């Protein structure tokens, strides 16, 4: 039985605050009668009323039903049930008569649940209703009518309310940054994770989720190295830049405004991205990198167009016991359509594939040329945390520090204890290079570079950091 990812559940939420409200309910102790099969997931959640709320979700054709009085669709109980399910905390079971009766009214599934789990969940017009009545209604009862689509005025009001919340969150972030600079990084509160987590939670409520993630990652830098003060101060400067830019979106050039909005946390619907003009090319899968962010494993695939020379970033996410994307193999090229997110951002979505993958090796450059390419990308978006490049260099060591170098310069390698997951690949790189120059895909960060792949004449070796296999199911 295939399941969704956490990202797909979040995409179903009407607003970011709905996921925040659902998180406390996504605990097995709050539920009874939990079960799931290849069509539905169901359970009863104890709410504020005397009787628990009956919840059922059709995870194939995507619809839901809950007996709570909430007018939000889907409500927090539906989202909490889905979060439990994607985390593997709902056991397999046999649907009750009430669940079977509701499913019988639903449209027939036209594709399997395993294929459904790989696509973005989109509620159907005639089946994604919030129930006003109990699940025990008979099959002959009239189904709850589909909700009226929101009017233009309602959509404008919802957008304006979201912009207002985000603006207030950015104002609060700037005030918090002022306090940090005024009290200094020696303030004992800086060393407490709650100081950062409380701010991140407030930013989530303000629908600035990307900034909340940066705040939580920043908390991990405190005390992580002898020069952590420099790293934290630099990141605080980036946060100040984003908070100021986010409050001035209306006066920024279009592409820059799009980049700022996305970096702050403005969510762009997957369907809107896929509706854009595709960037068609022969895309070489140059490298892969796995990291963990707030209990979710993130996989980055770095692609480079053979004709355009442009980079693209494909992301996949996995919660507990879920699988990351394994459809792309490092060292291959596939002719495909990529749909890019707004602005100059590297992130894209894979569209149609026009041919089977073939082996391919990307062109390399010197360290100086790679630094120049990285510099141009960071200049366009100073808040970028990771940038790819391909270099021909040799592995060197000075004291305890490893680096990549050629006649034009050198790049420090990110030491393992600053990494978030997997082996550092140095042993494989040392064994394959034997002290000679090698072609490498690297991932630049402000703290150093991470080798991702070795491109030899006969094969490409993927040495990027791997996901924690105790957390993510093996593909």
Reported as a single tens digit per residue, the pLDDT across 370-395 is 999 999 999 888 889 899 999 999 99
Q: List pLDDT tens digits, range 342-366.
A: 877 689 999 999 999 999 999 999 9
C-alpha triplet 349, 351, 357: angle, nearest 5°: 105
Dist. CA 242–CA 256, nearest whole Å: 11
Tell me 190's DSSP state: G
59-68, 121-130, 391-400 — which is least confidently predicted? Answer: 121-130
Dist. CA 326–CA 179, nearest whole Å: 44
Dist. CA 304–CA 288, nearest whole Å: 12
- The two three-digit tokens of residue 158, written as one number: 């919802």
Q: Name the more confident of 134 and 19.
A: 19
- Is residue 36 within 8 A of residue 100, CB to CB? The reply is no
C-alpha triplet 105, 112, 4: angle, nearest 5°: 95
Mean pLDDT of the chain, nearest integer:
82
pLDDT at 134: 34
Percentage of the chain beyond pLDDT 90 is 36
Query: Where are the alpha helices (H) located in 220-326, listed in sequence order?
Result: 228-246, 254-264, 270-274
Average pLDDT over residues 10-29: 80
Dist. CA 349–CA 323, nearest whole Å: 18
Dist. CA 236–CA 231, nearest whole Å: 9
Q: How many whole angstroms from its chain centre is CA 372?
A: 28
3-state secondary structure of 413: strand
Residue 475 has pLDDT above 60, yes or no: no
Nearest to 461 by CA among 421, 436, 435, 431: 431
Report how far apart, in Å, the C-alpha atoms of 156 and of each of 252, 269, 409 are.
21, 16, 53
Buried residues in 278-315 as b, exposed as e (16+ CB within 10 A): bbbbbbbbbbbbbbbeeebbbbbbbbbbeeeeebbbbe
Q: List pLDDT tens digits, range 429-461.
A: 888 888 899 999 999 998 899 999 999 888 999
Q: 46-55 — which CB contacts under 8 Å span 24+ positions?
A: 47/77, 53/77, 54/98, 54/134, 54/135, 55/81
Report how far apart, in Å, the C-alpha atoms of 316 and of each of 212, 220, 328, 475 are.
19, 22, 11, 13
β-pairing, 311-318 vs 296-305, is antiparallel
pLDDT at 43: 92
Helix (H) / strand (E) element for 78: namely helix 76-86
Residue 468 has pLDDT above 70, yes or no: no
Dist. CA 149–CA 158, nearest whole Å: 13
Tell me 374's DSSP state: H
pLDDT at 135: 37
Residue 111 has pLDDT above 50, yes or no: no
Average pLDDT over residues 404-423: 74
pLDDT at 221: 87
pLDDT at 114: 37
- Is residue 380 within 8 A of residue 406, CB to CB? The reply is no
pLDDT at 321: 64
- The two three-digit tokens of residue 42, written as one number: 């169901």
Q: List pLDDT tens digits, range 132-174.
A: 333 333 333 334 444 455 555 566 566 667 788 888 899 999 9
Residue in the block written with tokens 């700037």: 174
- Is residue 210 within 8 A of residue 264, CB to CB? The reply is yes
Query: Exposed, middle or buried, 149 (CB in 10 Å: 0-12/13-18/19+)?
Result: exposed
Helix (H) / strand (E) element for 333: namely strand 332-340
Q: How confident is the model at residue 243 (pLDDT cuts 50, 70, 90)?
A: very high
Maximum average pLDDT range among 48-52, 61-65, 213-217, 327-331: 327-331
């Amino acid at each position: 039985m295939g399941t969704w990812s956490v990202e797909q559940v979040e995409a179903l939420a009407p607003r970011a605050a709905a996921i925040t409200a659902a998180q406390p309910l996504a605990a097995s102790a709050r539920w009874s009668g939990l079960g799931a099969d290849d069509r539905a997931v169901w359970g009863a959640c104890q709410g504020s009323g005397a009787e628990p709320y009956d919840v059922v979700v059709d995870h194939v054709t995507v619809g839901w039903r809950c007996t709570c009085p909430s007018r939000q669709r889907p409500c927090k109980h539906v989202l909490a049930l889905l979060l439990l399910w994607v985390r593997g905390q709902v056991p397999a079971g046999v649907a009750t008569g009430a669940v079977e009766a509701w499913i019988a009214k639903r449209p027939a599934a036209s594709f399997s649940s395993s294929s459904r789990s790989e696509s973005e969940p989109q509620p159907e017009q005639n089946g994604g209703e919030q129930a006003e009545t109990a699940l025990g209604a008979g099959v002959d009862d009239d189904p709850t009518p589909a909700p009226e689509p929101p009017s233009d005025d309602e959509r404008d009001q919802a957008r304006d309310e979201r912009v207002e919340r985000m603006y207030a969150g950015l104002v609060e972030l700037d005030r918090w940054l002022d306090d940090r600079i005024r009290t200094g990084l020696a303030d004992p509160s800086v060393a407490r994770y709650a100081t950062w987590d409380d701010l991140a939670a407030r930013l989530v409520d303000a629908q600035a989720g990307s900034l909340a993630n940066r705040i939580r990652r920043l908390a991990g830098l405190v005390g992580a190295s002898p020069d952590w003060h420099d790293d934290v101060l630099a990141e605080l400067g980036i946060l100040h830049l984003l908070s100021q830019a986010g409050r001035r979106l209306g006066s920024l050039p279009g592409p820059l405004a799009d980049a700022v909005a996305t970096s702050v946390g403005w969510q762009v619907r997957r369907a809107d991205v896929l509706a854009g003009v595709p960037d068609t090319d022969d895309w070489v899968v140059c490298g892969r990198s796995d990291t963990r962010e707030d209990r979710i494993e993130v996989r980055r695939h770095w692609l480079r167009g053979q004709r355009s020379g442009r980079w693209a970033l494909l992301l996949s996410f996995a919660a507990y016991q879920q699988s990351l994307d394994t459809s792309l193999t490092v060292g291959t090229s596939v002719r495909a359509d990529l749909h890019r997110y707004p602005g100059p951002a590297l992130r894209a979505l894979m569209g149609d594939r026009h041919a089977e993958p073939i082996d391919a090796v990307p062109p390399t450059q010197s360290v100086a040329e790679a630094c120049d390419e990285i510099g141009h990308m960071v200049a366009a978006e100073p808040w970028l945390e990771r940038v790819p490049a391909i270099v021909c260099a040799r592995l060197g060591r000075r004291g305890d520090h490893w680096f990549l170098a050629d006649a034009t310069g050198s790049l420090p390698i990110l030491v393992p204890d600053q990494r978030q997951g997997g082996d550092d690949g140095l042993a494989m790189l040392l064994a394959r290079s034997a002290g000679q120059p090698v072609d490498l895909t690297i991932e630049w960060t402000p703290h150093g570079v991470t080798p991702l792949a070795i491109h030899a004449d006969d094969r490409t070796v993927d040495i990027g950091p791997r996901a924690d296999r105790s957390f993510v199911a093996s593909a």
